[in-house]
Amino acid sequence: MDVPLYLRPRVEPPLASLLGAAPFLHSLVDALGSPLNVLLLETVAENAARFRAVYRRHRLTGRIYFAHKANRSSALVRRLAAEDPAAVGIDVASLEELRHALGCGFTGDRVMATGPKDAEFLWLAARVGATVNLDSPGELDRLAGLVRGHGLGRVRVLARLSGFESADGKNGAGTRLLSRRSRFGTPVRDADALWAALERHADAVELVGLAYHLDTTGLEEKARALEQCVLLMDACRRRGLAPRAVDIGGGFGVGYVADAGEWQRWTTALSEAVLGGRPPLTWRGHGYGLRNEGGTVRGTMALYPGHRPHAGPGYLDELLSLPAPVLGREPGTLLLEHLHDLHIEPGRSLVDQCGLSLARVLDVRSTGEEPGAHLVRLGMNAGDVSLEEHGVLMDPVLLPRGDARQDDGREGGEGAGAPVGVHLVGNLCLEADLITRRLVFLPRLPRAGDVLAFVNTAGYAMDFHAHQAQRQPSARTVAVEREGDSWRWCPDEDYWPITHPGGTPA
């Protein structure tokens, strides 16, 4: 076999020490079954504090709204509810998420309701005093109707915009689209009609700010949208509306792979494999969007950028420091000068390093096709750890059962202590149930009874696509906290951020 093409995950302190507690993790899987999700609550609070530090550096005010859709956990939402109400809120995108947030301790004034909303969702959001992030002019009409019809108080709203254009006219060709089209929000070209509707509904709603959420990693695109919002807010004020906040959505990202070189080597090798210059790196030569056209690689790699120099709070800092194209000021300065609050809605990045998905190794066998490659069947399926679905590639961490060193001494030859390439397959009778289509390199061949830990899965990977096909159990989720040198755990739904006398959480 060639040099192993590892994509080892980035693992930081509390998560690293949890991974070091292999007997504890094994005992959890023994007791609660495979798959199993584990959440580290101290980390979500630390991540919020890191975002706050960026606000302070730029002397900005405003709130961090956790995008609930990234994870279903109650413990995470309760832990965040315990944070400073002025600093941390929650972004809910469905009636059930709103009910959940309220039940976890968020008061209505800390809630941002986003996404397209039905009447029930709008009513409850209005009733509890949430801020409604308006998806369309039609939604505004429906909300205003509910407020009047039910005698509700005036509702704070943000206008979500999309389709940002530049009208700088440099090339005389009129407008230029700055961000790709979105299904959500009101296109900027229709903004005038939206302002008119907001004026018409002024008895029912109060415009408190403008918003966007761009599903891109591009800093430039986001800086331009932010600047456009500041300009549009000036236009609003000229009409007598008084927006004070810009909500720049989420998408601050996570760096999953620890080493830039490993990411570089793997992606280069993928291109070589697609051209036939080396053995396939994937199940049946899957190209992740790349293809061979007459000896040239074509297409774009449909993968999450595994190694990222700036992610999460660092990415926000970069964005706020970038010179803005039209006004020539950094977005941070622009917001400060206009005395606007900055709201953000991080999902993935707020739960960075907060979660693990554990799976027991059920069985290991040779593929019979590729020399040296093995099939490792896990007690989980692709829905339980949907990294592949989101284009996130990284190696699981092998947690051997018992003492691995002793085992390695006992069995010689291939597989005992040597790196191997394996295909990770799931527990469904479905050819397509691969945990990843990538050939995964592990430091040694796993055995039945070992546990594989998928790291950093709290954002979208652990429960977003979980299902109960074939009546396979879906993962339970547990919350863990450090207690001296050891760990304690409780079911996710039983966690409350309370310290009881004696210092142990409930």
Residue with smaller CB distance to ligand PLP, 281 or 393: 393
User: How many residues are present in the chain?
Assistant: 506
3-state secondary structure 312-369: CHHHHHHHHHCCCCCCCCCHHHHHHHCCCEEEECCCHHHHCCCEEEEEEEEEEEECCC
Quick one: tokens of 498?
């309370």
CB atoms within 10 A of CB 111: 25
Task: Confirm or reject binding of residue 69 to ligand PLP (CB under 6 A).
Answer: yes
Beta strand spans in 175-272 (E): 176-177, 186-187, 205-211, 245-247
Of 348, 360, 438, 447, the one binding ligand PLP (CB under 6 A) is 348
What is the nearest approach in angstroms of ligand PLP to the Cβ of residue 114? 4
Spatial contact of 244 and 209, defined as CB atoms under 8 Å apart: yes
Task: Confirm or reject binding of residue 135 to ligand PLP (CB under 6 A).
Answer: no
Task: Confirm or reject binding of residue 305 to ligand PLP (CB under 6 A).
Answer: no
φ, ψ (nearest 5 deg) of residue 242: -130, 60
Give the binding range for ligand PLP (CB under 6 A) out of 33-41, 78-86, 246-254, 427-435: 246-254
Task: Confirm or reject binding of residue 386 to ligand PLP (CB under 6 A).
Answer: no
Q: Is 449 exposed, middle or buried, given 0-12, 13-18 or 19+ CB atoms closer than 10 A?
A: middle
Task: Confirm or reject binding of residue 113 to ligand PLP (CB under 6 A).
Answer: no
Residue with smaller CB distance to ligand PLP, 117 or 438: 117
What is the nearest approach in angstroms of ligand PLP to the Cβ of residue 94? 11
Residue with smaller CB distance to ligand PLP, 6 or 315: 315
Residue with smaller CB distance to ligand PLP, 249 or 305: 249
Identity at 336, one-letter amino acid code? L
Task: Confirm or reject binding of residue 250 to ligand PLP (CB under 6 A).
Answer: yes
Residue with smaller CB distance to ligand PLP, 216 or 264: 216
Residues in contact with ligand PLP, counted by CB under 6 A, come to a total of 15
Decide the pairing of beta strands 64-67 and 88-92. Answer: parallel
Task: Confirm or reject binding of residue 463 to ligand PLP (CB under 6 A).
Answer: no
Task: Confirm or reject binding of residue 83 to ligand PLP (CB under 6 A).
Answer: no
Task: Confirm or reject binding of residue 91 to ligand PLP (CB under 6 A).
Answer: yes
**Residue of 255, 252, 253, 217 whose CA lies nearest to 8:** 255
Task: Confirm or reject binding of residue 347 to ligand PLP (CB under 6 A).
Answer: yes
Give the binding range for ligand PLP (CB under 6 A) out of 16-24, 250-258, 274-282, 377-385: 250-258
Beta-carbon contacts of 250 under 8 Å, excluding residues fewer than 6 positions away, are 67, 91, 213, 344, 345, 346, 347, 348, 349
Task: Confirm or reject binding of residue 377 to ligand PLP (CB under 6 A).
Answer: no
Residue with smaller CB distance to ligand PLP, 245 or 425: 245
User: Measured between alpha carbons, how far apart are the two ends of the chain, in Å?
Assistant: 50
Residue with smaller CB distance to ligand PLP, 163 or 426: 163
Of 9, 62, 89, 346, the one binding ligand PLP (CB under 6 A) is 346
Task: Confirm or reject binding of residue 395 to ligand PLP (CB under 6 A).
Answer: no
Residue that the structure tokens 């430091």 belong to: 443
Task: Confirm or reject binding of residue 73 to ligand PLP (CB under 6 A).
Answer: no
What is the nearest approach in angstroms of ligand PLP to the Cβ of residue 308? 13
Task: Confirm or reject binding of residue 72 to ligand PLP (CB under 6 A).
Answer: no
Looking at residues 251 to 290 of the shown chain, list those that interact with ligand PLP (rule: CB under 6 A): 251-252
Looking at residues 183 to 212 of the shown chain, list those that interact with ligand PLP (rule: CB under 6 A): none
Quick one: tokens of 149?
């019809």
Q: Is the bond preceding residue 35 a cis peptide, omega within 30 degrees? A: yes
**Residue of 150, 103, 93 whose CA lies nearest to 126:** 150
Q: Which residues bind ligand PLP (CB under 6 A)?
A: 67, 69-70, 91, 114, 213, 249-252, 345-349
